[in-house]
Homo-oligomer: A and B are copies of this chain.
């Protein structure tokens, strides 16, 4: 392929090398599927050498780990479930996505799942450890139930079956979360939003059906 003369956007002035790299990577991710994040591609757009890129981000995974939160924060509002200026559907989607990958904590989901496996699944857990895990699971459901009840109080969601609904959403979140610990293709951001949308719609549709 001949990429020599494809006019690449220039990085904003006054940015550090590191920030130019992040800017370049983020802008390339934003352009979607076609352009994946290659070392040379990002380095060229950032106007730095591959060596400089590697100095700041020792592996491509490190680069992705630094860029993804930036991209997500652009796309997903921080808003709590109570911000009723946002339509219930979008609000619940954003809230659930935030449950998958909390913004503040810079935790790597891969890392998190590995730790969880080592602690709760690698060996037969003692009753105490088992309880600990079930408690964490309950807490996750509790957070989902909280969101559902806020929407119920608003009248955006038909009442009832909170427990079943929360368990259902928790399963979907679990599926999305564990998928992120594994390799993803270029479309995973859209896919994730589509899946969350379907899950949320399957609850909200009940309102219409009433």
Q: How far is the CA of A142 from the CA of B167 in the complex (A)?
A: 26
Copies in the complex: 2
Q: How far is the CA of A122 from the CA of B111 in the complex (A)?
A: 8
**Chain A window 76-113, contacts with chain B (Cβ cutoff 8 Å), 1 for yes, 0 for no:** 00000000000000000000000000000000001001
Closest CB of chain B to A99's CB: distance in Å? 13
Main secondary structure of the interface of A (DSSP, over half): helix
**Besides the known contacts A114-B122, A168-B195, 10 further A-B residue pairs in the complex with CB atoms under 8 A apart:** A113-B117, A137-B182, A167-B194, A168-B199, A172-B172, A174-B178, A178-B178, A198-B202, A202-B205, A205-B205
Contacts of A113 in B (CB 8 A): 117, 121
Q: How far is the CA of A54 from the CA of B22 in the complex (A)?
A: 38
| Chain A interfacial positions (CB closer than 8 Å to B) | 59-61, 110, 113-114, 116-117, 120-122, 124-125, 129-130, 133-134, 137, 164, 167-168, 170-176, 178-179, 181-183, 185, 191, 194-195, 198-199, 201-202, 205
Cross-interface CB contact of A116 among B60, B182, B194, cutoff 8 Å: B182
